[in-house]
Structures are given as structure tokens and as C-alpha cells.
A and B are shown apart, each in its own frame.
Chain A
């Protein structure tokens, strides 16, 4: 099952994909739906829900701010 992080800009979403890839976590860059982004027009990364905790640690370690989308 796929889960998502919200990153804001496409630049940070791409940075997140790269950071996760370097640590062996598969993810893909996505544009968030309107319900997933309060201010409209945002990007995120989608990954396996089982990888979310590890992915969160990787992103935090890379200095990338994110929001977990429920």
C-alpha cells in the first residue's frame, strides 16, 4: 500500500526522492491532490507505507522538512 509525504515544491520533492533512493527506499515524485495540500499546488513523494518510518528518518537526516499525509 502506498503512503505519501508532502514536501511543498517540486525541488524539495525531487531532493526527497534522491535522498530516499540513496538509502535504498523506492519512492516516486507525485503532485498532491487538492485535499492533500492546504495552500494548493504542492508536490510530495509516495512510498510503501511499510517504509514510512525509515523514510521519515532519512528525510530528517537530510534536512528536508516534510509532512506526513494521512
Chain B
């Protein structure tokens, strides 16, 4: 089996991660932050180790790492805990439904709304960055207070100039939430340097952790901004006599029992990524996509919608064939890909894919050149060339 669907979830997980989750199930008892016995305090210590490793990777404080179940949960929490009723939100025209849907939901209940700025896919480099910032500027309104943007599209693999967007947001008083679903573990993101208020990431994609894990990572300025209210209220082991949620992160936004085995697995996964180095991971992954592209681009029966030189993603269709049919044929050959709209209709519209979307391959660190060769051969078999 050849797994080329890492943008959905990474597979296989490193042995060390699997072992950490299993070990946690055997050895870690108690509920961190609830009881006072040795097991519970030890569990709290393990959870904190994961916070420390995430903080180191993303340039944050450990106490500003909030665990969630995935990126969607993180984005919903980040937006809904910081949204000022009646204000305007900006998103890009590449956003996943995890951004589009909650944005539509929060603004749909008020007299404000949201607008989309242009991701300028056709341009490159400085010209593209300038066009994006100009588009943001053109969409600003007197009541614009929040901007949410993907760091890298899950459909086209295109990165967004997060640093420049962050600088614009800081200069113009916008709360900046970043969807890091495809960037965590792949791109160099530093929350303070890049002027990000909240970075939302999954544990189970580029970080190679277990599914069911994710994080919101808050900057110091976000914490000091007084924009963050609580979104889910409940027990968290702090100030139980107080009907209000605690003031400080992370417990302010963490209610209910944490998924400790998953968090411990995530901690080991963060070490795995840090030890490898994100540059090494990115170089490996993008070289495989480049190999695929350099073969497929000569096949006239293929439509390739996106190729980015440093991306782990390639989007294509077999001309005249529904994307799901192509994916099924690849599946019959033991190759796992994802077809359709990838929960991102905006991005597909922007990339001009046909009805039915397209086929996406997304590589990971365990994929090999031989696997890409097999994939290329399979595609050529399907097209009859």
C-alpha cells in the first residue's frame, strides 16, 4: 500500500509515537490537574512536557499552548472566544471549511459580515505578496477587527505570506488567527516573530502525532489583548468554587478531561519533528512532489491545477474523468489519495477545478522515491499513455 494522503492525516505514525500512546494507556493514571496523588501529578508533568515542546517549535510560552482535538476545533475556539460581536472578519479566498463555516456562523448572527481577500495564486514572490496585502487593504472596513488565513492551502499547497500579513494585522489592529493545518511541522512559523495572535494546528498531520490532537498557540500580545473569552465552560481543576472560568490560559480554554495518551503521543511526535528538522522534512517532501510533477506534466491526458516548488501537495485530474473515479482506480492499485473538494470549495473555485473537484496527492516523510515511481506508473496506466 502506498499512502499519499498525508494532508488528511499522516500515516504511518513513527514507532516512538505509537509506543508513547500505548505506554500512557498502561502507566499513566489519574486526571492531570484534578487529583493530588502521585499518578495524577505525574500525568500533569507529562502534559507539560508536550506544552514545552510545542512552545519551543512555535516560539511561544508553554502556558499559552491550549490543547484541542484538531485544527477545526482550534479555529472555532480561537474565533469564537475572541470575536467582537458585530465586527467584520477577513478571510482569504483559499480557506478550508474549518475557517469559512465558523466565520459565516459568527458573522451571520450580527449585522456585520465577512469578506474574502485575493490569494493572488497567479503571481509569485514579492509581486504576489504585494497583491495580497493590497487586496486585504481594499477589503478593510471601519469595523474590521479579525483576519483569519491559512498558512498553506490544503488544496493547492500554496503558502501564504504569513509574516507580511501578520505585520499588516499588527499595524492595523487586527486580531490574526492562522490556520496552520498544512504548515505545522513543514514551514518555519514563529508566533511572535510572525505577529500571529493565535496559531491553530493539528497534532496528526505534519507533526506526525495521533489523531484527536490539536493545539491553539497564543502569542503574548493575544493574551494581553483581553480579546480572549472562554468558549467552552466546565471543570478544569482550577478555582472550583468560582462560577467563572479561570482568567489565565491554558485552563481558561481547556475544560473537561484532556486526552492524555494522545497528548503524550503528540509530545513524542514534536520531538521527532524537532530532531529531524522541518527544513529536512520539507526538502524531502517537496522533492518527491517535484519528481511526480516532472513526470506527470508531460502527460497530455492530465490536467494539473497546482504545482508549487516547495509544496508537499499536487492537484490534478485525468481529463474527462471524475476525480473520485481516478481515486478509486488508484485505490485498486493500492495507492491512497483523496479526491473531491477536500472540504475547501473556495480553494477549488480559485484553482478553477471542474465539477467534482480534483485528485490530491500529499506526501509525508515516510514516502519514498520508489513509491512516487509506482504512483507515476499507475497514473500513466490509467491514462493509457
Chain A residues with CB under 8 Å of chain B are 8-12, 14-15, 18, 29-31, 37-43
Chain B residues with CB under 8 Å of chain A are 32-33, 35-36, 41, 44-45, 48, 51-52, 62-63, 236-242, 246, 248, 250-251
Min CB–CB distance B146 → chain A (angstroms):
27
CB closest chain-B residue, reference A29: B41
Min CB–CB distance B323 → chain A (angstroms):
45
A18 to B52, CA, bound (A): 11
- Chain B binding site: helix, strand, loop or mixed by DSSP? loop
Known interface pairs A11-B51, A30-B36. Does A42 touch B250 (Cβ–Cβ under 8 Å)?
Answer: no
Q: Which residues in A have their C-beta under 8 angstroms from that of B246?
A: 8-9
Contact indicator B48/A15 (Cβ below 8 Å): yes
Identify A12's interface contact among B45, B237, B248, CB under 8 A. B248
Contact indicator A10/B237 (Cβ below 8 Å): yes
- Chain A binding site: helix, strand, loop or mixed by DSSP? mixed
Contact indicator B240/A15 (Cβ below 8 Å): no
A11 to B236, CA, bound (A): 11
Contact indicator B251/A11 (Cβ below 8 Å): yes
Q: Supply 5 A–B pairs (Cβ within 8 Å), ascending by A.
A: A9-B236, A9-B246, A9-B250, A39-B241, A41-B240
Known interface pairs A8-B248, A10-B32. Does A42 touch B239 (Cβ–Cβ under 8 Å)?
Answer: yes
Min CB–CB distance A21 → chain B (angstroms):
12
Min CB–CB distance A30 → chain B (angstroms):
7
Min CB–CB distance B55 → chain A (angstroms):
10
Contact indicator A14/B238 (Cβ below 8 Å): no
CB closest chain-B residue, reference A30: B36
Known interface pairs A31-B36, A43-B33. Does A9 touch B248 (Cβ–Cβ under 8 Å)?
Answer: yes
A8 to B242, CA, bound (A): 12
Contact indicator A40/B51 (Cβ below 8 Å): no
Identify B48's interface contact among A11, A31, A40, CB under 8 A. A11
CB closest chain-A residue, reference B237: A41
Min CB–CB distance B30 → chain A (angstroms):
11
A31 to B239, CA, bound (A): 12
Q: Which residues in B have their C-beta under 8 angstroms from that of A40?
A: 239-242
Q: Which residues in B have their C-beta under 8 angstroms from that of A8?
A: 238-239, 246, 248
Q: Which residues in B have their C-beta under 8 angstroms from that of A43?
A: 33
Q: Which residues in B have their C-beta under 8 angstroms from that of A37?
A: 239
Max chain A C-beta neighbours (<10 A), residue from B236, B238, B239: B238
Contact indicator A12/B36 (Cβ below 8 Å): no
A30 to B51, CA, bound (A): 20
Contact indicator B62/A15 (Cβ below 8 Å): yes
Contact indicator A41/B36 (Cβ below 8 Å): no
Min CB–CB distance A29 → chain B (angstroms):
5
A42 to B246, CA, bound (A): 11
Q: Which residues in A have their C-beta under 8 angstroms from that of B36?
A: 30-31
The 8 closest A-B pairs by CB, nearest first: A31-B36, A40-B241, A39-B239, A10-B33, A41-B240, A14-B48, A40-B240, A39-B242
CB closest chain-B residue, reference A28: B41
Identify B240's interface contact among A10, A30, A39, CB under 8 A. A39
